[in-house]
Amino acid sequence: MAILPVSIARVSDQLRTNASLSAISKTQADLLAVQNEISTGKRVNSPSDDPSAAAVIQQLQKTLASRDGYATNLQSATSQLGEVDSILSDLTNLLQQAQTIASANVGSDVTAGERQAAAEVIKSITSQALSIANKQFNGVYLFAGDRSTAPPFIDSNGKIKYVGSPTVLQNRFDENTTSPFEVNGEQVFGALTTQVAGTTNLAPSLSSTTRLLDLGGAVGNGIHAGSIRLGNGTTTKDVDLSQAGTVNDVITAINNAGLPGVTASLGTTGIQLTGTGNLTVNEIGGGTTAADLGILTAVGTGAGSPINGQSLAAQVTPLTRLSDLRNGAGLDLSGLTITNGGTTTTLNFAGAQTVEDLLNSINGSKAGVLARINATGTGIDIVNPTQGTSLTISENTGTTAAQLGVQNFTAATKISDLNGGHGVRTGAGADFQVIRRNGTTFSVDADGLNTVQDVINAINTADGGAGVTASFNNNTNGITLTDSTGGAGALTVSPINASLAAGDLGLLIPAVGNTITGADVNPVQSKGLFANLQKLTSALESSNQSAITAAASGLQNDHDRVILVRGQTGAQVQGLEARKTQLDGENIATKSLLSTLQDTDFTTAVTKYQSLQTALQANYQMTAKALHLSLLDFLG
């Protein structure tokens, strides 16, 4: 109803009609609005009904929608991990069976025939374990990591080879956290335990084209390229580095900033600033750019004193040039000799330009190994993905293996690590005797020695310069004995005092001419589950009790590891389920808030509807009566 002027002097017919009309139409409009509210059940049907509530409603709807996504992810992850959990339970049972069979077949009361039969059972267990390892769920090979499109374990000449990936998938389960929802096949099956981890940091030098994303950063957090504030003691200048893609871009940007007396240049490992002023470099707006670039200098160290940036820790990437490795010293390209499962492959890296070329050369060879950049981006690991074969890597006449740090057996190897960790079994007193070609002998005591170099020194000392020289042969990975006595006899090493040391050191090898080329007694052995099952099979087949025991103890480790992973998986599933419950609770709270904001309060709405209806009725009646009144009706 329109507000009428306070005092109306006269009431014209138009005024009466208009007033009645506007009262009726206003009440009708209000009635329609309430009717709409009641029929849709929503108080806010379009945002303009209540813009401030609508803004909150939209925000809540957005939250609910993203939670829908998280719920889907949680559902998918819990069912997948649940499947993994039940599979791991099957696997545990299989391993227990195998262990029971192993222990039942140790002892003198078991016949070779019975062991043959047991071997058949273990073979069946192996194939069941393989089928478990290649289990699919929802089209995903569960233990293949991010290569989940193909079976991760394949048969390679009777041995089981892992072609999956140790990189497990992650997904987002709430606003802030991503967590993995897969189990590492490598971890469960010990699939990639046979590896030679590169021991050297290959430390690529900086080049002008080194990308910022390939840098570890001075504080190890990568480079967060933002802006920095350069100062020369008198003035400062802000430099925007957010567009910089390479180290060179950073240097160009600093030099183009045009701050008098400041020049940036490329050092071997970091950025250098020189100039006449008292140089300072500061962060802007809480960034970490200067610190990441290793040039953060809040207080200058005096006029003319340069800032020698810290090492930017350039990472090894497939694109890193081999000539940049080892702080720019480059890599010897002579190559490697890789022996895997009895097959020896000699690789020459001539022509390789980048780390990727090197990796391709190794991975594409017949050696059957997997070379990869390690997780920290500092070096190269060579992995044997085939379970049950042993791996050795030695030089191909050069120093490549040493430079890469991938030689499995060197003079520095501890003798306690040899022979798969069994070490060298020495006896009381001297352990072996060397017969020179001229027939003279000397004996060597290997007790109390630490490294292979110590053994070599001990041999040379024991010989006392009488014609036999021990040294370490990097091309064959072993101790070499060379006889220069010129005698006609055979250079021979023989154990004494019932010691097993000579054999354990790889010296019980017939001489060729003047030389005994010792064996590699530090091959990298697989600790994988399939390797241990296969060892047990062959031990049972050959009825070798000590080998059965050894395999059983390996299986015990596998079993423990699977139990551990299963525990972790269970905890993960529990965590995800707790998150799901929490999410449901949060959803209820959000939905109730949404309902409060958006839904019709029926009590209020219906009451309002009724009162409006009454008002409309009154309007009608009043209008009908009032408009009917006319003086004319009363005139004669």
- Please, which of residues 74-113 interact with another protein by CB under 8 A? 76-77, 80
Say how many residues make up the chain: 636
- Please, which of residues 167-196 interact with another protein by CB under 8 A? 167, 169-172, 178, 181
Compute CA distances 444 → 69, 433, 457, whole Å.
71, 6, 10
- Please, which of residues 199-218 interact with another protein by CB under 8 A? 209, 211, 213
For residue 352, the minimal CB distance to another protein (Å) is 11
Number of residues interacting with another protein: please give it, by CB under 8 A: 80
Q: Does 318 bind another protein (CB under 8 A)?
A: yes
Q: Does 516 bind another protein (CB under 8 A)?
A: no
- Please, which of residues 554-583 interact with another protein by CB under 8 A? none
Cβ closest to another protein, residue 122 vs residue 367: 367
Q: Does 413 bind another protein (CB under 8 A)?
A: no
The span of 66-74, 85-93, 307-315, 342-350 binding another protein (CB under 8 A) equals 66-74
What is the pattern of x (binds another protein, CB under 8 A) and - over residues 236-255?
-------xxxx--x--x---
Q: Does 541 bind another protein (CB under 8 A)?
A: no
SS3 content of the chain, % helix, strand, coil (to 5): 40, 15, 40
Phi, psi angle pair for 448, to nearest 5°: 75, 10
Nearest to 622 by CA among 221, 27, 56, 208: 27
Q: Does 47 bind another protein (CB under 8 A)?
A: yes
For residue 311, the minimal CB distance to another protein (Å) is 22
For residue 129, the minimal CB distance to another protein (Å) is 22
- Tell me which of 32, 41, 66, 235 binds another protein, using CB under 8 A: 66
Cβ closest to another protein, residue 120 vs residue 584: 584
Q: Does 147 bind another protein (CB under 8 A)?
A: yes
The span of 50-58, 82-90, 111-119, 579-587 binding another protein (CB under 8 A) equals 50-58
Token readout for 380 is 């190269």
- Please, which of residues 334-373 interact with another protein by CB under 8 A? 354, 356-357, 360, 363-364
Residues 14 and 518: their CA atoms lie apart, in Å, by: 123
DSSP, collapsed to helix, strand or coil, labels residue 157 as: coil
Compute CA distances 189 → 147, 161, 526, 565, 584, whole Å.
16, 11, 11, 10, 36
Rounded to the nearest 10 degrees, how much is the dihedral formed by the CA atoms of 224, 225, 229, 232?
Answer: 100
Q: Does 11 bind another protein (CB under 8 A)?
A: yes
Tell me if 359 sits within 8 A of 380, measured CB to CB. Answer: yes
The span of 11-19, 261-269, 327-335, 451-459 binding another protein (CB under 8 A) equals 11-19
Alpha helix positions (H), 41-143: 51-104, 112-133
Cβ closest to another protein, residue 72 vs residue 614: 72
- Tell me which of 146, 238, 584, 601 binds another protein, using CB under 8 A: 146
For residue 5, the minimal CB distance to another protein (Å) is 5
Nearest to 206 by CA among 243, 253, 242, 246: 246
Token readout for 247 is 């180290």
| Residue 118 CB coordination number (10 Å) | 21
What burial letters (b/e) apply to 445-469, b meaning 16+ CB within 10 Å? bbeebebbbebbebbbebbeeebbb
- Please, which of residues 596-625 interact with another protein by CB under 8 A? 598
Q: Does 627 bind another protein (CB under 8 A)?
A: no
Residues 54 and 597: their CA atoms lie apart, in Å, by: 8
Cβ closest to another protein, residue 167 vs residue 485: 167
- Tell me which of 149, 177, 546, 603 binds another protein, using CB under 8 A: 149
Cβ closest to another protein, residue 108 vs residue 176: 176
Nearest to 458 by CA among 440, 446, 466: 446
What is the pattern of x (binds another protein, CB under 8 A) and - over residues 252-281?
x-----------------------------
Residues 113 and 119: their CA atoms lie apart, in Å, by: 10
How many helices (H) and strands (E) the chain has is answered by: 14, 24
Residues 598 and 579: their CA atoms lie apart, in Å, by: 27
Token readout for 469 is 């020289």
- Tell me which of 28, 32, 41, 68 binds another protein, using CB under 8 A: 68
